[in-house]
Structures are given as C-alpha cells and as structure tokens.
C-alpha cells in the first residue's frame, strides 16, 4: 500500500473535522449522540481511509490513520473511540489472506458501512471471557447473550460480537445492527466519553452467516492489541490539542483580570502566557509519543508486506504502546487540570464544558490500566518476558 503524503490526506478531512469540533461542546452539554457526525465521516470515506485506493479507500498507512485519529480526537474525543472497533475490524481484514470474506467486508467498508462491537461482558473472570454463545448445531447458526461496553454500537451498521461455541472456541461473529433479535440500549453511565454509544447489547437467537464468523484460532500473528490501544492514545493526544485550542480561545476573548495580575488583559499577562505555553508543550509531547509508537505498528505492516518475519516487531510494538500509554495519560490528565489556571471562576461554567477534557481523558485512560502496562515493560526489561498479546487462541 503506497501511502499518500499526510498533508494531502488530512486536507481531505479537515473541513469536516472543523464542523465536528464546532458542535462538540453542545453535544457534550446536552448529551446528544453524534449520529450526524459519524454519518458525515462515513460519507466522506473516512471509514475506508486504510483501504488501498484500488479497493475504494484512501491508501493511508497505519501510522497515518493514527495521526488522523489524533486530529479527529481534537475535534471530538468520543469519535475515535466510537470508531475503534470499526478500524480494528478493517485492520484485521487487511491482515487476512485474500479470500471471499476479506473481499466482502472491505467492499462493504468502501461503500460506507460502519462497524461496531459487542464484545465485553460484566461479571467474574478475566476481560475477554464470554458467556455469549454461538449455536452451530443447526442449519442456521445463531447467537444468544448480553454484552456491556458495546462501544460505537448505536452508530454502526454491523456489529462484531465476541462469542464462543459449544467447544468453547472463541470468535468474532459479525451481524447486522438491524437484526430483529438484537436490542441496543443506550445506558452507558460513565462520567466521561458519554457520546461513544457504549451501551448494552442483548442478542436473542441472532442469525449469523458462517463466513461472517472469524475464529481466533485462524488468526495469524498480528498487532491488534497494540492497535486498539493506540486508537485510545490518539484520542488522548487529540484531547491535548483541544485543551490548547480551548485555552487560547478562552484567554483571547477574556478582558477581566485579577487584582494582582501582571497586565491589563489576560492574553498579555506573562503568567497566563506561561500556562498556555505549558499546555502547548504537553500537547506536543503527547503527539510525539503517540506517533512514535505508531511507527512501531508501521514497522510491522512494512515487514509483513515484504514477506519478512513480524513476531519480534509485534513484541516491539506492544512494548512501545505500553510505554506510550503511561506517558500520554499522565501528560494529558495534567494538562486537563492545568487548563483551569488560565482563568477564574468563569472557567468552570458548565456552558463552557472545559471539564469535558479531564472527564474524557480519565475515562479513556482506565480502559487499559497503566499499572499493567508499566509492569509489562518492567518484566520485559528485567526478565526478558514477552509482552502479552493474543495472536492465536484455541485449537480449532
């Protein structure tokens, strides 16, 4: 896949990103799900950006996708996360060997389809364990179960359901979001990322085509654990950019100063200038770290395309992403707090929604707790332990 120059690629979507950014505070304030924004992105071909040009896409590299998601995250941090499952499913199909299933799903994406997910369940056991069953006994395969954290589901045309069959073999089964046996509930109750459409999904004998079931045991070595994490990191870096933009916009239009201020206008106060400079530096650092980690994914993709071994490169990508996680989370959360140093009590007015940056960053950061990322890196450095990932699960 020959990637186009990044600026040329980004210029195609920046006017739409600007429209999305303009409506983000109102959506956040009123908790209005971003259906229009997601449909506009799909119509503009954003969901197909990773596909080769000859297959209806924009020919973006994986690192260019991460860069674009940073820009989208600056407009509205909910949207990269809401599209995380979509881009993950696209990435997995791009990695797949050529075949009818790969061709069918890439064509659907090229035609504007949006993919969501219903993977995670609540209750005991480790993340990834599933009680949702794929019944393969009859002529028609069906799925029954309940999922929580179904991120992006309410925006999607198709849902990837995490299932296991009678032999406990695990798979993703992709079904239509409009199937009559499927119920999507908008009950996500987190204090941040409230517009990611991360509600509950109920499935009652939902039919699935056999060639729309992608078995874990059939997977080849991949970087998907790191990829999914990097989408979240891109959202965080986007928040860092939005913090800077909001700080500048707030200060430039502010005329009231403190009695002990250093200038007649806040934008001329050297202390306020220093705070804005610190925020800009934090955003710059977050961008740089995320894009450096994305380069590790790019190295895997490049080696795979050349027919070279990728296992060690996948390990390196996992470790790079784990190191990036801790740095970016701390940097952006710190900036989201420091933002309020540029103003007085008016900065906490709910209509300004400046609090959304901290709430959203904090919510994103707990999806993959940093303590485990840090331990993974430490264990590797001290003991040579390979990072945890999920190339192949099962014995089918």
pLDDT tens digits, one per residue of 202-255? 999 999 999 999 999 888 889 999 999 999 999 999 999 999 999 999 999 987
- Position 269 scores a pLDDT of 87
Cβ(388)–Cβ(376) under 8 Å?
yes
For 318, residues 6+ apart whose C-beta sits below 8 A from its C-beta are 223, 225, 226, 376, 387, 388, 389
Sort residue 374 into left (φ over 0), alpha (ψ -120 to 50) or beta: alpha
User: Cα separations (Å) of 137 from 130, 143, 167, 214?
Assistant: 19, 12, 11, 17
Q: What is the pLDDT of residue 162?
A: 94
Beta-strand ranges (E) seen in the chain are 115-118, 133-135, 141-150, 158-164, 170-176, 182-185, 199-208, 213-215
- What is the set of domains in the chain, with CATH numbers? 4-113 (1.10.540.10), 116-216 (2.40.110.10), 221-381 (1.20.140.10)
Sign of CA dihedral 288, 378, 368, 176: positive
DSSP 270: H
Tokens 């794929």 belong to: 134
Helical residues (DSSP H) of 253-306, grouped into ranges? 270-305
Below-70 pLDDT ranges, the chain: 1-2, 124-128, 259, 389-396
- 3-state secondary structure (DSSP) of residue 62: helix
Q: What is the pLDDT of residues 11-29, one digit of tens each?
A: 999 999 999 999 999 999 9
Distance CA 154, CA 6 (A): 30
pLDDT of residue 127: 63
Cα torsion 221, 225, 228, 232: sign:
negative
C-alpha to C-alpha distances, 48 to 45, 96, 172, 204, 305, nearest whole angstrom: 5, 16, 20, 31, 19
**What spatial distance separates the first Cα and last Cα of the chain, rounded to whole Å?**
32
Q: What is the pLDDT of residues 58-70, one digit of tens each?
A: 999 999 999 999 9
Q: What is the CA radius of gyration of the chain?
A: 22
Q: What is the structure's pLDDT at 254? A: 86
Backbone angles phi and psi of 265, in degrees to 5: -125, 140
Contact 160, 212 (CB under 8 A): no
Considering only CA atoms, which of 298, 351, 347 is closest in space to residue 320?
298
Residue indicated by tokens 């913090």: 243
Nearest Cα to Cα of residue 267 among 245, 250, 280: 250
DSSP string, 143-192: EEEEEEEETTGGG-SEEEEEEE-TT--EEEEEEETT-TTEEEE-----SS
* Cross-strand partners of 215: 171
- Report how far residue 383's alpha carbon sits from residue 306's, in angstroms, rounded to the nearest whole number: 31
CA distance 184 to 200: 6
Contact 110, 142 (CB under 8 A): no
What local confidence, expressed as pLDDT, does residue 392 receive?
42
Q: 238, 80 in Cβ contact below 8 A?
A: yes
With H, G, I as helix, E, B as strand and everything else as coil, classify residue 77: coil
CA–CA separation, 1 vs 201, rounded Å? 36
């Amino acid at each position: 896949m020959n990637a186009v120059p990044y600026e040329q690629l980004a210029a195609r979507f920046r006017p739409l990103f600007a429209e999305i950014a303009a409506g983000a505070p109102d959506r956040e304030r009123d908790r209005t799900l971003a259906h229009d924004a997601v449909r506009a992105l799909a119509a503009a071909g954003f969901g197909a950006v990773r596909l080769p040009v000859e297959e209806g896409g924009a020919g973006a590299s994986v690192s260019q996708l991460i860069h674009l998601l940073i820009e989208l995250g600056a407009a509205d941090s909910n949207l990269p996360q809401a599209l995380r499952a979509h881009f993950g499913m696209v990435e997995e199909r791009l990695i797949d060997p050529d075949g009818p299933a790969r061709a069918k799903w890439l064509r659907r994406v090229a035609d504007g389809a949006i993919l969501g997910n219903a993977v995670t369940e609540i209750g005991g056991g480790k993340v990834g364990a599933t009680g949702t069953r794929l019944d393969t006994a009859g002529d028609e395969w069906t799925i029954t179960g309940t999922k929580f954290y179904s991120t992006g589901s309410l925006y999607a045309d198709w849902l990837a359901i995490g299932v296991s069959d009678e032999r406990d073999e695990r798979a993703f089964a992709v079904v239509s979001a409009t199937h009559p046996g499927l119920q999507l509930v908008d009950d996500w109750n987190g204090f941040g990322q409230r517009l990611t459409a991360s509600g509950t999904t109920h499935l009652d004998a939902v039919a699935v085509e056999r060639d729309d079931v992608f078995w874990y045991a059939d997977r080849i070595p991949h970087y998907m654990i790191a990829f999914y994490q990097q989408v979240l990191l891109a959202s965080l870096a986007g928040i860092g950019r939005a913090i800077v933009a909001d700080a500048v916009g707030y200060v430039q239009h502010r005329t009231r100063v403190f009695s002990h201020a250093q200038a007649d206008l806040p934008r001329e106060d050297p202390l306020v200038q220093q705070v804005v400079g610190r925020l800009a530096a934090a955003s710059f650092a977050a961008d740089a770290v995320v894009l450096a980690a994305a380069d590790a994914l790019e190295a895997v993709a490049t080696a795979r395309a050349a027919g070279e071994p990728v296992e060690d490169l996948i390990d390196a990508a996992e470790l790079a992403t784990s190191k990036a996680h801790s740095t970016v989370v701390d940097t952006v959360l710190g900036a989201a707090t420091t933002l309020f140093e540029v103003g007085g009590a008016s900065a906490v007015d709910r209509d300004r929604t400046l609090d959304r940056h901290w709430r959203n960053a904090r919510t994103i950061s707990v999806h993959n707790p940093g303590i485990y990322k840090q331990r993974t890196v430490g264990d590797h450095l001290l003991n040579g332990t390979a990072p945890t990932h999920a190339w192949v699960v099962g014995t089918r």
